[in-house]
Amino acid sequence: MKGWAERNGGNITINITEWIDEQMRELPAISERIAIGKTLPHLKDCWLYCKGTQKRMRDLARDPMGNGSVIRITPDCAHYEIVADAPVAPTSELPSHLAVHDYLLAKNSPYRASLHTHPIELVALTHSKKRMEKDAATHMLWSMIPETKAFCPRGLGMVPYMLPSSVELADATISAIEDDYDVVMWEKHGVFAVDTDIMSAFDQVDVLNKAALIYISARNMGFEPDGMTDSQMKELTDVFNLPK
Residue 45 DSSP one-character state:
T
> Are 4 and 117 a contacting pair, CB within 8 Å?
yes
> Are 124 and 210 a contacting pair, CB within 8 Å?
no
**E strand spans, the chain:** 11-15, 34-35, 47-51, 68-73, 79-82, 113-117, 156-159, 183-186, 190-195
| Cα-to-chain-centroid distance, residue 234 | 27
CA distance 46 to 99: 13
Q: For residue 26, indicate whether it is catalytic.
A: no
Which run of H or E residues covers position 144?
helix 136-144
User: Which one is catalytic: 22, 32, 81, 93?
Assistant: 93
Total length of the chain: 244
Which run of H or E residues covers position 94?
helix 94-106
Q: Which residues are catalytic?
A: 93
